[in-house]
């Protein structure tokens, strides 16, 4: 067969473990079946069919119909039931399954194969009329929603009214006759909304569902999810058709989801939830509150309803054995769906479980220590970008808290923000720069853009495996779910709880680690690298080749960076120092001076200030290299705006305000990014760089004298395009060094080098390396100048570029390896050809981006430099890049 792969009942059509072909779910079902686990028989229509379906204008080839017929025959043979048979009917589930899991993003239809005749057959075969009609109403509701795309609200409403009329609160109180009545109402609803009766032909049902699953691949929510997670559209989804097993066949039946380890904290304990007499969707949808899997978890939570371990000890024992078998087989923590049908266990899914960064670290370190995986594998198991979650603040234990209520600790981290009640508002207010907390009764895939935009997510309903919890953990957003005492009205934009009201725009704080919800903002504290984090970092450091430095310009930044493991400063921008306190007046005086004498007078005032800046930084970074970049931005950025500012400068410079204003006007530039900035400042006003170089060397000698440990300054000239520019600027720096060393009678080692941030510099790197002792790739400007895209204005249109695949990712975030990368590797090559030991690094934002770091490893740079909070991410990414080479 070409597109259909059968599994279960001892049959396997191959493709086992091939996620690209069968999708994650299909591949793992086939694999579980092949290692002897109880998997209901079924077949997978491959992802290749999805691609072809869209290529052919959303049609199926005739050959697929024949293959699917064979697939159904296989299920019939194993189950000894017949699809559409009124006496012994086979029911199937139809589920999507892409290469990577996209939780809640795509469609599922359960109980397919029921119609007015087969429902009677099912009732007889199961000897349970209530169960049969419950299944039928579930099927109609799901099919109407997913396949026919009718308004599901009307169906839910009909069910609510039916329960209300009977005085019931739970679905389980509905009798066979009640369900039967509801089914009639549902069928009428379908006919009314769809214009045709509910399809009775089981084959029509099946093809409708298969089409809907393929169709869901191009749904808006799936597209958004793919964009957020970098999943290419051409991967397609597979469709899995599988014999139904029933968790809703009475009290010896159940359904549940489980993880082989705690996905939130990473502890080695089975973790999960189950519901007696229910179908899988009930657990995920958060309609009924599920029970705990283990006795220990139930006791810890202080919950009453029996755990599965207590309620169904035998099946639980089997399940636990399966957990161990699966973890050993896949050598990773598994996320599992199972169903118990009349005391018989069935496995419906397994996959690598999504986990918080904290859990990822603990699981990787534990598994390496258990000998299940190697240390190298442990390093590769943790997504560097996910570490971000741990590098963020948690609630200050000392801070005052005005606790409103408590829900489930669904995704760790603390967040404060303004309350919003819908995803669109969350997105809007976040885009306007506000921190928001998205508050929902429960979330659904339609909310995904709002969840992404929000700082935190709070729901009133749903367990630890609800949509909100799973998605928030994947995104690294703090989340408190199932805060049941919240009465939320999204319509009136208000939530009520404990006699209090919180309206849209009011501030709430949530703690995803404890589940606490607090009114107002609560202070937070910085994280530290300890425990498993520290261990994994040590292992990473053992294998990485690239050094990791930090972009830091204050002593505090330097301290943070050093604590996070930075091995030096890769970029100390000096311009911000010029704004501090009273310095700005001296800077303005310098800029507006009409001659060198005026500039020198102002620079003399700046020298001691600049020296003390460098002294403070060198003290923190003692013994490590510090790359100090001389002044870079266009001068007009420092100009006065207000009258009072002009007056202040006028007084300091002894000039009149009008002259100053005229000078300021003269400094206006049409295109300042390509204007009088970078080394062009040094070429025209060498005294500026002279002062900065002097400050650097005086500070270095001061620190060396005081601490005995000399820093290693690397003086960096920005925006160089030609050898001659660098030659001139190096002469200025060397002269300053010579003077200071003579004055002080002491020397320090130093280097003079340049940024490579213009295409010309990259091309002429061979010549530039004759002068420069190091290169640091300024990939922010290099991207801007290579692409001809302004880094300050790109946000407006880059989204469209990424959406249409022109650039795979935002090139200012992740290096455009093909274009800008070619310049980097060419410059590295040419620079090395001239000067074999030239030091090469990167200090653009890309230095903290894992994909770009992998590129830096390939090109053989010596170091990457990232913002202090990204240093651990860079350390791990560098280790992974080294291992993958
Ligand atoms: C760069 O251009 O990449 C760089 C690091 O310099 P800046 O961002 O300060 O222009
Ligand atoms: Mg730059």
Name every residue whose Cβ is closer than 8 Å to that of residue 282 and which is 6 or more positions away in sequence: 255, 275, 288
**Centre of ligand 1 from the C-alpha of residue 629, in Å:** 10
CA angle 119, 120, 121 (to 5 degrees): 90
61-102 pLDDT per residue, tens: 999 999 999 999 999 999 999 999 999 999 999 999 998 878
Taking the CA of residue 718 as reference, the ligand 1 atom at the shortest distance is 6
182 lines ligand 1 (CB under 6 A): no
Angle at 453 between CA 450 and CA 457, to 5 degrees: 65
- Looking only at the bridges linking them, the beta strands covering 516-519 and 507-511 are antiparallel
Q: Name the average pLDDT for the chain.
A: 92
The best mutation among 552, 718, 777, 787 to test binding of ligand 1, ranked by most ligand atoms within 8 Å of the C-beta, falls on 718
Query: Catalytic one among 74, 449, 452, 467?
Result: 467
Which ligand gives the minimal distance to the CA of 629?
A: 1
Residue 392 bears catalytic tag: no
- Residue that wins the pLDDT comparison between 342 and 446: 342
Q: Summarize pLDDT for 548-591 with one digit per residue, the tens.
A: 999 998 898 899 899 999 999 999 999 888 877 778 889 988 98
Q: Which residue has the higher pLDDT, 630 or 103?
A: 630
Q: Are the CB atoms for 41 and 78 separated by under 8 Å?
A: yes
Helix (H, G, I), strand (E, B) or coil at 489: strand
Sheet containing 479-481: which strands, arranged edge to edge? 403-406, 516-519, 507-511, 414-420, 436-440, 456-459, 479-481, 408-411
Read off the pLDDT band of 482 (50, 70, 90).
confident
The residue nearest atom 6 of ligand 1, judged by CA position, is 778
Lowest mean pLDDT among 113-117, 226-230, 405-409, 831-835: 226-230
Average pLDDT of the residues in 179-206 = 96
Query: pLDDT band for position 393 (50/70/90)?
Result: confident
Burial of 240 (0-12, 13-18, 19+ CB in 10 A): buried
Residue 880 has pLDDT above 70, yes or no: yes
Q: Name the token pair of 440.
A: 């929902």
State both tokens at 834. 């001239």
- What is the number of residues in the chain? 885
Nearest residue to 34 (alpha-carbon basis) of 22, 50, 45: 22
**Pocket of ligand 1 contains residue 780 by CB under 6 Å:** yes
Catalytic residue list contains 846:
no
Compute the average pLDDT of residues 485-499: 93
Query: What pLDDT sits at residue 469?
Result: 80
CB-ligand 1 contact for 725 (6 Å cutoff): no
The whole-number average pLDDT for the span 360-385 is 96
pLDDT score of 499 more than 80 = yes
pLDDT at 824: 98
Instruction: Assess whether pLDDT exceeds 90 at residue 639.
Output: no
Which atom of ligand 1 is found nearest the CA of 776? Answer: 5
Task: Kindly tell me if the per-residue pLDDT of 284 is higher than 70.
Answer: no
Q: Is the CB of 571 under 6 A from ligand 1?
A: yes
Q: For residue range 683-719, what is the model confidence (pLDDT) as tens digits?
A: 999 999 999 999 999 999 999 999 888 889 999 999 9
Q: Ligand 1 centre and the CA of 586: distance in Å?
A: 25
Q: Which of 124-133, 519-528, 677-686 has the lowest mean pLDDT?
A: 519-528
Nearest CA to ligand 1 atom 1: 778
pLDDT for 465:
65
Query: Which is higher by pLDDT, 153 or 84?
Result: 84
Residue 844 Cα: closest atom of ligand 1 = 3
Mutate to test the pocket of ligand 1, among 755, 812, 813 (most ligand atoms within 8 A of CB): 755
Return the pLDDT at 742: 98
Quote the tokens at residue 399.
């801070």
| Residue 778 alpha carbon, nearest atom of ligand 1 | 3
Pairing, β 494-497 against β 487-489: antiparallel
Query: ∠ at Cα 651 (649, 654), nearest 5°?
Result: 105
Q: Which residue's CA is the nearest one to ligand 1's atom 9?
A: 573
Say how far apart CA 17 and CA 12 lie, in whole Å: 12
H or E element that contains 406: strand 403-406
**What is the atom index within ligand 1 of the atom nearest the CA of 780?**
3
Residue 15 pLDDT greater than 80, yes or no: no
- Alpha-helical (H) ranges within 772-867 are 779-787, 795-803, 820-834, 850-859
Do 874 and 848 contact (CB within 8 A), yes or no? yes
Residue 278 CA, ligand 1 centroid: distance in Å: 58
What is the C-alpha to C-alpha distance for residues 159 and 189, in angstroms, rounded to an integer?
Answer: 12
Which SS3 state, helix, strand or coil, does residue 519 take?
A: strand
312: pLDDT strictly greater than 90 = yes
pLDDT at 493 over 80: yes
Residue 213, C-beta contacts closer than 8 angstroms, at least 6 positions apart: 94, 95, 96, 106, 107, 108, 109, 237, 239
Cβ of residue 757 lying under 6 Å from some atom of ligand 1 = yes
Q: In this predicted model, what pLDDT tens digit does every residue of 329-345 receive, in sequence order?
A: 999 999 999 999 999 99
Instruction: For residues 253-268, give the mean pLDDT.
Output: 94
pLDDT the model gives residue 286: 59
**Which residue's CA is the closest to the ligand 1 atom numbered 8?**
780
Which range is most confident: 279-293, 419-433, 716-730, 803-817? 716-730
For ligand 1, whether the C-beta of 779 sits within 6 Å is: yes
Q: Where are the alpha helices (DSSP H) in 708-803?
A: 723-744, 759-763, 765-771, 779-787, 795-803
β-pair partners for 341: 344
pLDDT score of 390: 82
Using the CB atoms, write b or e for 557-569: b if 16+ within 10 Å. bbbbbbebbbbbb
Ligand 2 centroid to Cα of residue 794, in Å, is 16
Render pLDDT for 380-392 as a digit per residue (tens, 0 to 9).
999 998 887 787 6
Answer whether 843 contacts ligand 1 (Cβ < 6 A). yes
Residue 678 CB less than 6 A away from ligand 1: no
Ligand 2 centroid vs 640 CA: distance in angstroms? 23
Give 805's pLDDT tier (boundaries 50, 70, 90).
confident
Beta carbons within 8 Å of 798's beta carbon, 6+ residues apart: 789, 807, 810, 811, 812
The mean-pLDDT minimum among 223-232, 418-427, 501-510 falls in: 223-232
| Candidate of 569, 632, 672, 717 to mutate for ligand 1, largest count of ligand atoms within 8 Å of Cβ | 632
Compute the average pLDDT of residues 411-437.
Answer: 92
Is the CB of 841 inside a 6 Å radius of any atom of ligand 1? no
Q: Which residues pair with 510 in a beta bridge?
A: 415, 517
- 552, 573, 675: which to mutate for ligand 1, most atoms within 8 A of CB? 573
Closest ligand to 574 CA? 1
List of domains in the chain: 4-243 (3.30.1490.20), 254-352 (3.30.470.20), 392-525 (3.50.30.10), 561-714+725-750 (3.20.20.60), 757-885 (3.20.20.60)
* Chain centre to alpha carbon of residue 596: 52
Instruction: For residue range 601-625, list pLDDT tens digits in order.
Output: 999 999 999 999 999 999 999 889 9
Secondary element (H or E) of residue 440: strand 436-440
Q: Catalytic pick from 558, 843, 846, 856?
A: 843
Looking at residue 308, its pLDDT comes to 97
**Which ligand is in closest contact with the Cα of 783?**
1
Instruction: Give me ligand 1 centre to Cα 844, in Å.
Output: 5
Please tell me the distance between residue 385's alpha carbon and the centre of ligand 2 in angstroms: 24
Residue 745: phi, psi to the nearest 5?
65, 30
DSSP string, 203-271: HHHHHHHHHHHHHHTTSHHHHHHHHHHT--GGG-EEEEEEE---S-SSTT-EEEEEESS-TTT--SS-E
Q: Whose CA is nearest to atom 10 of ligand 1?
A: 781
Q: Is the pLDDT of residue 474 over 70?
A: no
Which atom of ligand 1 has the smallest separation from the CA of 551? Answer: 5
Residue closest to 475 by CA, chosen among 446, 497, 450, 503? 450
The answer on pLDDT for 766 being more than 80 is yes
Q: Which ligand 1 atom lies nearest to the CA of residue 575?
A: 9
Mutate to test the pocket of ligand 1, among 634, 781, 842, 864 (most ligand atoms within 8 A of CB): 781
- Looking at ligand 1, which atom is closest to the CA of residue 777? 3
Average pLDDT on 624-641 reads 90
Instruction: Tell me, in angstroms, the distance from the centre of ligand 1 to residue 732's CA.
Output: 22
Using CA atoms, how far residue 833 sits from 711, 764, 826, in Å, is: 29, 12, 11
Residue 872 pLDDT: 94
């Amino acid at each position: 067969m070409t597109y259909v792969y059968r599994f279960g009942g001892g049959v396997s059509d191959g493709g086992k473990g091939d996620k690209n072909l069968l999708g994650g779910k299909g591949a793992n079902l086939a694999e579980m079946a092949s290692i002897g686990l109880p998997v209901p028989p079924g077949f997978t229509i491959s992802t290749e069919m999805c691609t072809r379906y869209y290529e052919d204008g959303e049609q199926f080839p005739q050959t697929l119909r024949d293959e699917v017929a064979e697939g159904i025959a296989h299920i019939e043979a194993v189950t000894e039931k017949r699809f559409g048979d009124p006496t012994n009917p086979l029911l199937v589930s139809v589920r999507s399954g892409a290469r990577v899991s996209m939780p809640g993003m795509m469609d599922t239809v359960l109980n397919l194969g029921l119609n007015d005749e087969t429902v009677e057959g099912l009732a007889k075969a199961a000897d349970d009329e209530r169960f049969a009609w419950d299944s039928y109403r579930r099927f109609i509701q799901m099919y109407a929603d997913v396949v026919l795309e009718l308004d599901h609200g009307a169906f839910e409403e009909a069910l609510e009214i039916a329960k209300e009329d009977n005085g019931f609160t739970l679905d389980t109180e509905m009798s066979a006759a009640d369900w039967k009545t509801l089914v009639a109402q549902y069928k009428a609803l379908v006919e009314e909304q769809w214009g045709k009766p509910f399809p009775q032909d089981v084959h029509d049902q099946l093809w409708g569902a298969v089409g809907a699953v393929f169709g869901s691949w191009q749904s808006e929510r799936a597209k958004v999810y793919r964009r957020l997670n970098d999943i290419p559209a051409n991967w397609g989804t597979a469709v899995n058709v599988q014999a139904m097993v029933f968790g809703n066949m009475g009290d010896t039946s159940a359904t549940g989801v489980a993880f082989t380890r705690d996905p939130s904290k990473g502890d080695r304990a089975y973790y999960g939830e189950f519901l007696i007499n229910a179908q899988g969707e009930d657990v995920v949808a958060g309609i009924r509150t599920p029970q705990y899997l283990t006795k220990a978890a139930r006791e810890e939570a202080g919950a009453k309803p029996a755990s599965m371990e207590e309620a169904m000890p035998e099946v639980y024992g089997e399940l636990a054995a399966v957990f161990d078998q699966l973890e050993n087989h896949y050598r990773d923590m598994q996320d599992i769906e199972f169903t118990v049908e009349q005391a018989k266990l069935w496995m419906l899914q397994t996959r690598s479980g999504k986990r918080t960064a904290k859990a990822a670290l603990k699981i990787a370190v534990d598994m390496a220590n258990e000998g299940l995986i190697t240390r190298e594998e442990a390093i590769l198991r943790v997504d560097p970008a996910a570490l971000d979650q741990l590098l963020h603040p948690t609630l200050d234990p000392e801070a005052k808290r005005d606790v409103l209520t408590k829900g489930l600790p669904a995704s760790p981290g603390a967040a404060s923000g303004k309350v919003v009640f819908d995803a669109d508002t969350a997105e809007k207010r976040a885009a306007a720069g506000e921190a928001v907390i998205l508050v929902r009764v429960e979330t659904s895939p339609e909310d995904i853009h709002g969840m992404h935009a929000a700082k935190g997510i709070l729901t009133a309903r749903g367990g630890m495996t609800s949509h909100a919890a799973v998605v928030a953990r994947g995104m690294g957003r703090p989340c408190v779910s199932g805060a049941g005492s919240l009465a939320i009205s999204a319509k009136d934009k208000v939530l009520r709880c404990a006699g209090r009201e919180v309206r849209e725009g009011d501030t709430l704080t949530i703690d995803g680690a404890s589940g606490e919800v607090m009114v107002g903002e609560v202070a937070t504290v910085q994280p530290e690298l300890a425990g498993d984090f520290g261990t994994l970092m040590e292992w990473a450091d053992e294998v990485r080749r690239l050094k990791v430095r930090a972009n830091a310009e204050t002593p505090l930044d330097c301290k943070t960076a050093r604590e996070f493991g930075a091995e030096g400063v890769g970029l100390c921008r000096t311009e911000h120092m010029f704004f501090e306190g009273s310095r700005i007046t001296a800077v303005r005086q310098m800029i507006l001076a009409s001659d060198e004498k005026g500039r020198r007078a102002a620079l003399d005032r700046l020298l001691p200030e600049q020296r003390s800046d460098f002294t403070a930084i060198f003290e923190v970074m003692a013994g490590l290299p510090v790359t100090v970049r001389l002044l870079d931005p266009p001068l007009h950025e420092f100009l006065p705006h207000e009258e009072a500012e002009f007056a202040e400068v006028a007084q300091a410079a002894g000039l009149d305000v009008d002259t100053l204003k005229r000078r300021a006007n003269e400094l206006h530039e049409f295109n300042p990014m390509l204007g009088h900035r970078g080394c062009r400042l040094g070429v025209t006003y060498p005294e500026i760089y002279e002062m900065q170089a002097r400050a650097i060397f005086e500070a270095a000698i001061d620190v060396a004298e005081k601490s005995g440990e000399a820093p290693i300054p690397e003086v960096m000239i920005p925006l160089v395009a030609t050898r001659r520019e660098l030659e001139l600027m190096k002469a200025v720096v060397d002269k300053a060094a010579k003077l200071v060393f003579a004055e002080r009678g002491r020397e320090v080692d130093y280097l003079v080098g340049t940024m490579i941030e213009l295409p010309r510099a990259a091309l002429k790197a061979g010549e530039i390396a004759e002068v420069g002792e190091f290169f640091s790739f300024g990939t922010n400007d290099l991207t801007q100048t290579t692409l001809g895209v302004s880094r300050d204005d790109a946000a407006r249109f880059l989204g469209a570029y990424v959406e249409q695949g022109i650039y795979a990712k935002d090139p200012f975030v992740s290096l455009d390896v093909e274009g800008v990368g070619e310049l980097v590797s060419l410059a590295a090559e040419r620079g090395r050809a001239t000067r074999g030991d030239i030091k090469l690094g990167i200090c653009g934002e890309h230095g903290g981006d894992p994909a770009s770091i992998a590129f830096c490893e390939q090109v053989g740079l010596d170091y990457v430099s990232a913002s202090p909070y990204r240093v651990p991410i860079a350390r791990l990414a560098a280790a992974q890049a080294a291992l993958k080479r």
